[in-house]
Structure 1
Amino acid sequence: MHRKTSIIILSCNTLELLQLCIASIHEYTESGTYEIIVVDNASEDGSAEWLKEQKDLRCIYNEENLGFPKGCNQGLEIATGTELLLLNSDTVVTKNWLKNLRCALYSSPKVGAVSCVANCCPHNQMIATHYENLEDMQDFAADYNKSNPELWEKRTTLIGFCYLFKREVLEKVGFLDDRFSPGNYEDDDYSLRILQAGYDLLLCRDTFIHHFGKASFKKNLSTQDVDEIAQRYNSLLERNGKLFEEKWHVSRDCWKMAPEELLPYLRQQVVEKEEGSSGAGLVAQKIAVLVRKTQEKRYGLCVESLRASRLPAGYALEIFSLAANKPYAAQVNEILSQTDAKIKIFINDEICLVSPLAIEQMLEIFRKENIGMVGFMGSRSLPVSGNFLEAPDVWGSVHMPMKGSLEEIRFGKAATHEFTTGVRFLCPSFFATQVDIPWNEDYDKQYYAVLAHCRAMEEGGQKMVVPLPREIWCAYQMENISFDSAEGDRRRYFAAYHSRLDDVLSSGARLALYACGKDAHVEGWQSFSHPEGIAVGARTRIHETALCRLLSDNFVGEPRISVGDDCAIDAYSTLTAHNRIVLENLVTVGANVQIKDYIRAEEDLGLAAEDRELLGHACGIRIGCAAEIGANVVIEGAVQIGCGARVRAGSVVKSDVPAYCIAEGNPARIVKTFSSREGKWLATPDEGVLTSLLEERKKTDPLLTYAFITYNRSRYLRKSLRSVLQQVGNDPLVEVLVSDKASTDETRSLVEEQQKRFKNLRYHCNETNVGAEGNIHCAMRASRGEYVIVAGDDDYILDGVLRFVLSAIVKHRGVALFCLKKEAVPRWVRRGTGILEYISYVGFLMTWISGIIMRRDLYLSVEEPQKDDDTRIPQVYLQLEMLKQNPEFAVLYGRVLAEGSGERMASGFNFGEVFIKNYLDILMAAGIPAYLLSQEKKRLAEDMIYDRLQKITKYHYDLPLDGIFDIMHEYYGEEPYYEEVVAKMKEILQEAGDAGGQADAEKKDAVNQK
């Protein structure tokens, strides 16, 4: 689609500035992508005469000064662009300014308007600059204006000096409110109208333009004139500020609020306008509320406060009671099985809601799908006592009854435009979830059940936050608060998440590690400084003499040292972080290695090392997946070591080491680089060869594409995407692709969020829903990898599997197919040749799309790739066709899937038709010999059909079994084991029927007893 920006400039007696502005637009904006509309508000400085001489401008000449809102509206009325830009005449634009702003504006359908930063601008849109003239300014801007989605901030208001918005916004919201003429607060008003219409506002901190500001208008004025103008300006500011507050019923300082805090107030305006209209036809969206009941009177007040809360139109509360004297987690799981509400509120009856907007603001926070839990109070670290309130980093707010009145208690201070802050442990008294994860019933009491649930959410990739609202959400009903906990639960929790803390209370240690993964070995953790800022992954081994330490007490939420899963750090090695040190998964660190993300200034004379200035960078040190650091290596400063890189023993590293490079020496230099084109390590005798090989790598297709096929299942995709990205990181040899069948949920925004961190992640969205089978082909065609895995969105790949796959591809490059065979054995590879061997080794696992790794060029050579799409398992046909072109294959044995994979069983088709009839039809069409077909039928029955029948009947999957015995007779009737197989199938179905009948009878008895 061709886009054009209508740039609308208001001018009144600013000729010199206007000329600079228009000249900069012409110089720094791509020709043909914009039109300039100038509205001259009765200038007396020759502006109109000059404008009439310009042939490339569209101009409006007013006989009187109509002010900013009315003048802008005149320009908007004649604008023809796909997006509209209000630009002050006292600005000078810069390189990439409009390109960057457009990029942000069209980054999501939810974005309605964007603006940039400047040297002179209110409301925190100003940045510090040090240039002295416009030439230097342009040099500064050329370096500054680099598009970076991580620097886009959601805002409540944007300043109108450079205000870009979509035409659809104008059509939906309308023109500027001319009641604010001649100017001031019209941009705040327009911002709130855009927010109220459901759009986001973005401040692009990756884009800078120069703004002369008020100083330019004082240039040729006397002191008296300046004072008079200032007086009139302040009077106008006060008048329009009051008008703004009367219109919106919010403070004129609302720009300091975060959108999620302000939006419920804006929606309230809509509700008041629509009051009295019929609610007929609204389908209530349920919010399940689980109230832990300890005392009748408190319970009544708690429930009353819930019912008094204001809910968005179409929402209703569904209230359940939890008994205080019964196991908490077990009760929760029982209620979760009874409700289909997405949002669940958990509240103890000692809490009452005091803000009518609490639930609505909570729902606004939950618009971000990666937020799994919201509470009113929490902490970022956990003391070894287990009491989060003893942590040094508690956040949140609550009213407490003190001597007959409520006292406001606040922990932490919100930054401007921030409504929430991230925590890791929530107070059990009041919180909510929007993601269902089963509660661990090993915990009897509430407190540690909630802490364990917080950790489960974190492990599932969900965030936990608490709000820092101006209007506190809730209040305790009593002064003395205690949590429902037990010593057995405490020991169980620390054994699960901090296994080295079993008897630590007597040691004098105060804070636990930020995280300590399952089966990690960190015997020396008590010698670490500031362990609350140090995270250790699962199965990682840190020698008892190795040290991790924070140089200062600067932990603020995210770990300063993060060691991934399956890492190894040998004896006497030390990691010291001033900013951040990250070791991704599978990193090996040899003995006596020193890693520190800073250096000391050397220019100072006569100062001890600890007194010299620390030099570092916020990005710190990152060591990529599967990198290897040899013994006695020193790494210091801001250094990035890519995945698969190796640093040989004794080296000193002070600069970056690219992925798949080998470095050695003091200072370390690259001596070898892996060539993906050649498939081997090549020597790099000088910088020229290294540069050439790295450039070649950029132009060479990745070795592997891991392609997800998905449709409206962002909940599952989030977990599966995380399981892949945490293994491959930004590996240049691996592409991660999401092929989306035109989802209408949060899929796109989920991927875009991850793309900010992972440059090898791509998103491909089909224009229409092409179906699951059609999406297989879309994913294959959209992929760039030499080999492609097309995977389901609920298959969670076990850590280390993709490293194993990548290694196998390099060693066995050229084969037509790899197959991942799920077996609980050490990983190994088996080569084979031909269709018959492939079926013998792999069998019905050919139907599991996530386990097949196809060579893309062979797929593209299949004449009719969609020939068997109607079978629902076209991947079986594709594998056979590819083996006809190249008979070589390899089977990769070992464990493949992480716990929880296949959460959502396939549904909507007949099990027998697809996995028995269609599968065997494809094999027979390929001319498989009778003896091998007979063997495969038996294996299919014993290893797949029996298992699936048990699961379908036990879990009531939507996979009809109609006609299955007719299919068995047709395809198995001549086999000697036919009777045996059918008898076993009937036995499974009979057992399931008996179990179901017994359950029905128990339910009937329970009803009769009631």
Structure 2
Amino acid sequence: MCHKTSIIILSYNTLEMLQLCIASIREYTEAGTYEIIVVENASKDGSAEWLKEQGDLRCIYNEENQGFPKGCNQGLKIAEGTEILLLNSDTIVTKDWLSNLRRALYSDPVVGAVSCVTNYCSNNQQIEVSYRGMEEMQAFAADYNKSNPASWEKKTTLVGFCYLFKREVFDKVGFLDEQFSPGNFEDDDYSLRILQQGWDLLLCHDTFIHHFGHASFSKGYGDQEAAEKARRSNALIERNAALFLKKWHVPERYKFMAAEEVRRLLQSRAGADEAVHKRCLPSEKKIAVLLRDSHTGQHEVCLEALKNVKWPDGYEVEVFTIDAQKPYAAQVNEVLADTDAKVKIYINDDLFLVHAQAIEELLKIFQDESIGMVGFLGSASLPVSGSLMDSPYKYGAVYVPTEEDFSEMRFGTAVQAAADVRYILPSFFATQWDIPWDESYEKQYYAVLAYCRAFEEEGHRIVVPLPENIWCAYQVKNISFDASEADQKKFFTRYYTYLDGTESKESSTLYACGEGSKIPSWQEFSFPEGIAVGRETHICKTALCRLVRPNFAGKPRIIVGDYCEIGIGSTLAAVNCIELENAVSVAENVHIKDYVLDESGVGISTADRELLTEKGGIHVERGVRIEENVLIRGAVRIGRGSIVRAGSCVQQDIPPYCIAEGSPAHIVKAFSPRAGKWLPVTGDKALRRLLSEREKTPPLLTYAFITYNRSRYLKKSLRCVLQQIGNDELTEILVSDNASTDDTRAFVEEMRKTYKNLRYHCNEENVGTEANIHTAVRKSRGEYVLVAGDDDYFADGALLVLLTKLVQHRGAALFYLGQGDDALRVYEGRGPLEYLRQVSFFMTWITAVVLRRELYALLPEPRKYDYTRIPQVYLQMEILKRKEDFVVLHGNFFDEGTGDCQPDGYELGEIFIKNYFDLLQDVVDIPSEQLSKEKRWVMERLILPRCRKVKEEHINLTLDRLFDIVREYYGEEPYYPQIVESLESILRGVR
């Protein structure tokens, strides 16, 4: 076969390098084996004029810069070669470069694309070089470029500076995706498209060309222009990274996964390029039936019944067989990966459908998108035995065989569209949303129960219809389910940790009980199925919770939140609902009941008196403290942070942050945000005046999120904050959105319907992370502002601790939140140098910094150091120069999982050594001894550990210039040789 390579080069203001590039192609590539296509993107440096003088080039001249993907596509349209090469204009090719790459490309039919190594590149395509000029470079390359198949490496992606692929690959995969214009991630996208179609990508470690890379990035620009160019570049990278992940739904570390693993992921998932992978979204008009095969005769009856059902017009139906002899959940996950059907119907062959319209009625229920799962029979509670059939709260209907015919088994009081349940029987159910199954369960029964809990945790409803026409019938008299003792133990250990084996199998479990809670007397509770308890809550042995009436209807009537304490002899008795939010403290002998007894009767016993209730019940908000011997009754709401003093009788609402006492209870004190302390209250008029003042006083704290196209992180972090300070009038929660294109806006707007102190701001365009920090501060209303990343999660209660310390140390310029497992420690200091000693480089983590907003407003150039990517360091130093007081808090502020999203793409040494120390020394006069200590601290506590993580966890941080930067900033330090030795040891083998 006679090969001809179409080399496509984009030209934009790189005339000098373009000339070098084309000259090197002419010199080091065999004549007649290639064509050069140059797409000239409206350069202003004379490139077009020079190109027009070249007789051996095919050129396209654009009137404006089309960007990289569009420009390449223009070249692809006219390319005539048997293979196609995308080549950057800032490269210089070398001896045997193209013949080596072709040899690898055609070494196997399965190879689709190849690339080479260079001196400046990401994706482990960079090697160490020592040449000092182009002549030495060519000598180095001539010696290096020896074709060696043993040095070809399979990759999951190739960088597009030199990207060679076959004509047949282009014919199948198509053009570059122009949504990534003007550039970045189009090569990652093309790589995944090639992988998805079944071809391999090879990195040829036996072939080297020179790449100038970003050497000309700031050429011709002043500092401000370069900073602005960097800002726009960073914003573009963020935008395109988000587009890439939204398109492909791959793990962020996919580059470091095995190629075959990524290919399997791509080929089994819907969601890539519609032109290549048709299953971009679940098919609304497609149903997958997962039929469990356990008995040949039953299987045939079940299958025949499915054929006779009336399937909705226009729907495609596909049937998958689940082998009853193999692990159930693992088989189901394989089917979910293989189908793009939106609706999945799960059916066991011991049952068959008898109602022709069953599927139509099922789909009608799914028109309510809050419903995730529909079953034929389910329960609102789970007995200790684990058998749903033992529950008194079953719903649904089915026919069961008798000696002569079938009889109707119906649970529920009336025919209705659907009843909410917590669990469904596995014989027949359907879903319209996908959640991965837990494959640690081998058998079906508990795998399905665990799947129900997963749906509940995701916020999807589980329902069972009570239809007039029963949908299905069992084929066997003795109904049994596929379960095992190991699965049962696993399930109860996961969801019902408080059970100790002494309970009656017929009794119901609690509606919920969180991890770490202690409820020794739960078996004494009446109707425990209607009682939910959160995490780390302690209810004393002699304290009782009870539903006064047998009126559990699927939702808990007593809800006790996380970290609550209920003391000796206290009782909670509910007719409608009693809810205690998180961190509520109930002392000894407190009685809370959401009803009163009718007193209109004459001479009748208490048992004969009517219970008078109001719909709202009792709601005790977060952080309330109820002292001993208190009675709370009727429909009452007690606001967050309030205190009810001993011996009080509460029969009416108590506003937030108030102290009440007496019988009947009345407000004696209330917290004033303006005064920063609790003030006495004498009468209703004084209370109304103080509450009105609260409404007019700016929030004490604004918690401001900065986010861009990362709703999956924001949903977790925002909920974490809302559960602590949502609807707290002392705080404001702000989301500063950098023009996200995902569902960020919709999610936040939905949350705003519930939380009145949540605000949303969206930039008109992505202004970059650093600019969005300033936007968040400027848009805040709080006296203090904390700007947080969207993947940082505060421990429950931590923000209330922060609020308390803001009040106690009000006026301080800065607060820093240091993470620790010990009891809270507070350090007060003054001035930038002392702050540097106490906080060190940890000040680069913006989520841990709380600053006084009025001091930020005094800075003449707050964005002066945005180009460093750590402007927060500058802000802290400048603020402390204006007001010296600061407070460092050390405590358990952040939850595990904070920083979920791994850092990506930046140069470690440039930001945390060069930029950090340049910035510090620009704004603060640091004594040489302190500076030396800080350098050592940064190296030992940040750089070396982060380098280990880069190597061990394959984090995508650039280390290209690390040794040069270390030499520049540490070369005079006495411990410099040890640093180099440590870095070389850690990074050995990292390309």
1:816 corresponds, among 792, 813, 817, to: 813
Q: Does 1:975 align with 2:973?
A: yes
1:632 is paired with a residue whose SS is coil
* CA distance in structure 2 between the aligned counterparts of 1:978 and 1:707, rounded to whole angstroms: 41
Question: Contact (CA 8 Å) 2:452, 2:462: kept in 1 or not?
Answer: no
* CA distance in structure 2 between the aligned counterparts of 1:900 and 1:334, rounded to whole angstroms: 29
Matched to 2:421, the amino acid is V
2:935 is paired with a residue whose SS is helix
* CA distance in structure 2 between the aligned counterparts of 1:311 and 1:918, rounded to whole angstroms: 63
Q: Does 1:654 align with 2:654?
A: no
Question: Contact (CA 8 Å) 1:428, 1:447: kept in 2 or not?
Answer: yes
Aligned to 1:804: 801
* CA distance in structure 2 between the aligned counterparts of 1:311 and 1:917, rounded to whole angstroms: 65
Aligned to 1:710: 707
* CA distance in structure 1 between the aligned counterparts of 2:784 and 2:869, rounded to whole angstroms: 22
Aligned ranges 1:553-564 → 2 under 5 Å: 553-564=550-561
Moved more, 581-590 or 936-945: 936-945
Aligned to 2:940: 942
Return the TM-score normalized by structure 1: 0.62
1:499 is paired with a residue whose SS is coil
Shift of 1:858: 1.8
> Identity, % of aligned pairs?
49
Shift of 1:481: 4.7
Shift of 1:681: 0.9
Question: Contact (CA 8 Å) 1:591, 1:631: kept in 2 or not?
Answer: yes
2:281 corresponds, among 259, 281, 285, to: 285
Q: Closer, same or farther in 2 for the Cα pair 1:723/1:440, shift >3 Å?
A: farther
Shift of 1:409: 6.8
Question: Contact (CA 8 Å) 1:710, 1:793: kept in 2 or not?
Answer: yes
Aligned ranges 1:452-463 → 2 under 5 Å: 452=450, 454-455=452-453, 458=456, 462-463=459-460
* CA distance in structure 2 between the aligned counterparts of 1:312 and 1:991, rounded to whole angstroms: 60
Matched to 1:581, the amino acid is I
1:697 is paired with a residue whose SS is helix
1:797 is paired with a residue whose SS is coil
Q: Does 1:843 align with 2:840?
A: yes
Aligned to 2:877: 880
Question: Contact (CA 8 Å) 1:282, 1:314: kept in 2 or not?
Answer: no
Aligned ranges 1:593-632 → 2 under 5 Å: 593-632=590-629
Matched to 2:973, the amino acid is E
* CA distance in structure 1 between the aligned counterparts of 2:656 and 2:748, rounded to whole angstroms: 24
> Can you list the C-alpha shifts for 1:623-671, whole angstroms capped at 9, x where unaligned?
1111110100011111111111001100111111111111111111111
Moved more, 521-530 or 383-392: 383-392
Q: Does 1:725 align with 2:699?
A: no
Q: Does 1:871 align with 2:868?
A: yes
Aligned to 1:423: 421
Aligned ranges 1:61-460 → 2 under 5 Å: 283-285=279-281, 295=294, 347=346, 350=349, 365-366=368-369, 378-395=378-395, 412=412, 422-428=420-426, 430=429, 432=431, 434=433, 439=438, 441=440, 443-452=441-450, 454-455=452-453, 458=456
* CA distance in structure 2 between the aligned counterparts of 1:929 and 1:974, rounded to whole angstroms: 16
Aligned to 1:26: none
Question: Contact (CA 8 Å) 1:954, 1:992: kept in 2 or not?
Answer: no
Aligned to 2:549: 552
Return 5+ residue gaps in structure 1 as ranges.
1-277, 994-1010
1:468 is paired with a residue whose SS is strand
Question: Contact (CA 8 Å) 1:395, 1:466: kept in 2 or not?
Answer: no
Matched to 1:482, the amino acid is S
Question: Contact (CA 8 Å) 2:294, 2:324: kept in 1 or not?
Answer: no
Shift of 1:849: 2.4
2:656 is paired with a residue whose SS is coil
1:685 is paired with a residue whose SS is coil
CA radius of gyration, larger in: 2
Question: Contact (CA 8 Å) 2:738, 2:767: kept in 1 or not?
Answer: yes
* CA distance in structure 2 between the aligned counterparts of 1:770 and 1:469, rounded to whole angstroms: 54
Q: Closer, same or farther in 2 for the Cα pair 1:283/1:494, shift >3 Å?
A: closer
2:857 is paired with a residue whose SS is helix
Q: Closer, same or farther in 2 for the Cα pair 1:978/1:503, shift >3 Å?
A: same
1:501 corresponds, among 492, 499, 502, to: 499
Aligned to 2:485: 487
Matched to 1:285, the amino acid is L
Moved more, 296-305 or 516-525: 296-305
* CA distance in structure 2 between the aligned counterparts of 1:645 and 1:538, rounded to whole angstroms: 22
Q: Does 1:784 align with 2:805?
A: no
Q: Closer, same or farther in 2 for the Cα pair 1:850/1:992, shift >3 Å?
A: same
Question: Contact (CA 8 Å) 1:491, 1:502: kept in 2 or not?
Answer: no
Aligned ranges 1:758-777 → 2 under 5 Å: 758-777=755-774
1:861 is paired with a residue whose SS is coil
Matched to 1:393, the amino acid is Y
1:529 corresponds, among 518, 526, 532, to: 526
Shift of 1:955: 4.7
Question: Contact (CA 8 Å) 1:286, 1:315: kept in 2 or not?
Answer: no
Matched to 1:809, the amino acid is L
> Can you list the C-alpha shifts for 1:95-131, whole angstroms capped at 9, x where unaligned?
xxxxxxxxxxxxxxxxxxxxxxxxxxxxxxxxxxxxx
Matched to 2:722, the amino acid is L
Question: Contact (CA 8 Å) 1:414, 1:468: kept in 2 or not?
Answer: no
2:893 is paired with a residue whose SS is coil
Question: Contact (CA 8 Å) 1:384, 1:504: kept in 2 or not?
Answer: no
Aligned to 2:15: none
Aligned to 1:688: 685
1:882 is paired with a residue whose SS is helix
> Can you list the C-alpha shifts for 1:748-791, whole angstroms capped at 9, x where unaligned?
33334333333222233333333333332222222222122222
Shift of 1:718: 2.4
* CA distance in structure 2 between the aligned counterparts of 1:930 and 1:374, rounded to whole angstroms: 70
Matched to 2:446, the amino acid is Y
Q: Closer, same or farther in 2 for the Cα pair 1:891/1:450, shift >3 Å?
A: farther
Q: Which has the higher contact order (CA 8 A, sep 6+)?
A: 2
* CA distance in structure 2 between the aligned counterparts of 1:887 and 1:561, rounded to whole angstroms: 50
Q: Does 1:636 align with 2:622?
A: no
1:791 is paired with a residue whose SS is strand
* CA distance in structure 2 between the aligned counterparts of 1:279 and 1:467, rounded to whole angstroms: 39
1:538 is paired with a residue whose SS is coil
> Can you list the C-alpha shifts for 1:32-69, whole angstroms capped at 9, x where unaligned?
xxxxxxxxxxxxxxxxxxxxxxxxxxxxxxxxxxxxxx
* CA distance in structure 1 between the aligned counterparts of 2:704 and 2:927, rounded to whole angstroms: 34
Q: Closer, same or farther in 2 for the Cα pair 1:986/1:616, shift >3 Å?
A: farther
Matched to 1:794, the amino acid is D
Moved more, 544-553 or 881-890: 881-890
Moved more, 602-611 or 924-933: 924-933
Shift of 1:721: 2.1
1:466 corresponds, among 463, 466, 469, to: 463
Shift of 1:803: 1.5
RMSD (Å), alpha carbons: 4.1
Question: Contact (CA 8 Å) 1:520, 1:537: kept in 2 or not?
Answer: yes
> Can you list the C-alpha shifts for 1:501-558, whole angstroms capped at 9, x where unaligned?
12134x4661111111111111011111111111111111111000111111112222
1:789 is paired with a residue whose SS is strand
Q: Closer, same or farther in 2 for the Cα pair 1:421/1:711, shift >3 Å?
A: farther
* CA distance in structure 2 between the aligned counterparts of 1:751 and 1:563, rounded to whole angstroms: 27
Aligned to 2:825: 828
* CA distance in structure 2 between the aligned counterparts of 1:922 and 1:705, rounded to whole angstroms: 27
* CA distance in structure 1 between the aligned counterparts of 2:919 and 2:308, rounded to whole angstroms: 60
2:579 corresponds, among 582, 591, 601, to: 582
1:678 is paired with a residue whose SS is coil
1:747 corresponds, among 741, 744, 747, to: 744
Shift of 1:986: 4.4
